[in-house]
Structure 1
Amino acid sequence: PEASPRQVAAAIRGAAVVAGETSTSVRGADWRIGVVTAVGTGPVDVGDVRARRIDGAYPAPSVGDQIMLTQNSAG
């Protein structure tokens, strides 16, 4: 017997969940605290991480500032 479209969708959904739970390349949001090591015209560097800054939230960046870095699962 052939599987119904609903059964196929459920199987794909289940496989995606298992793949996400077992793969190291899939992750959720992440955050950490770091110290600014360089300031550009838009981004700031925190060690080897180049981070985009939001002007309204962080209008005057300075080397030595302690900041929170956030990253979502999309990068």
Structure 2
Amino acid sequence: MIACGAADAGLGVRVAAERLGLDFLSVGWETYYLAASRSLASPMFDELVAAVRVRAAETTGYRLSREHKS
């Protein structure tokens, strides 16, 4: 809506704003968790988690915190 001129402002994520050539003003951060059953614990699952972390680190507007394990 903003990119086509139908609105002056809206809520969204930085990466989308940048892809559309829009200015971006951060109003806060959200926390996301990747939760899975312990039965999935395996080297392959660890590779998936590592790949997600790499992709998030490479994507504008995301910041990674320390790992949480329970």
What TM-score, normalized to structure 2? Answer: 0.25
Q: Which has the larger radius of gyration?
A: 1
Determine which structure has the larger strand proportion and give its number: 1
Alignment TM-score, normalising by the size of structure 1: 0.23
